[in-house]
Amino acid sequence: MAKHSKDPNPAPGWWYNTRTGEVEHGRLSRSIDRLGPYPDEATARRALELARERTRAADRADAEWRGEDYDD
C-alpha cells in the first residue's frame, strides 16, 4: 500500500492507483492515475474488476438501446 499522507485529516475515500497498482487512502497521486473514491480499502482493491463489470453493463445497455444482441 502507498504511504499515508502526513496530513492528520486526509481526504476521505480510498483510491486505486492505475500506474502503481496500489491502493491509497486519500488523494496521494495525480488524478489521472487514480480510480475512485471507494468507501473502503477492500473495494478499492477491486477497482479494475468493478470497472470491467461497469463497462460490460454499459455495453449491454447500449446494445439493448440499439435493439441488438449483446455477447459478453
Number of domains in the chain: 1
| 72 assigned to some structural domain | no
The per-residue pLDDT for 14 is 95
The per-residue pLDDT for 33 is 96
The pTM assigned to this predicted structure is: 0.73
Distance of alpha carbon 60 from alpha carbon 12, whole angstroms: 32
- Whether pLDDT at 1 is above 70: no
| 43 assigned to some structural domain | yes
50: its cell numbers: 468493478
Distance of alpha carbon 55 from alpha carbon 8, whole angstroms: 36
| 23 assigned to some structural domain | yes
| 25 assigned to some structural domain | yes
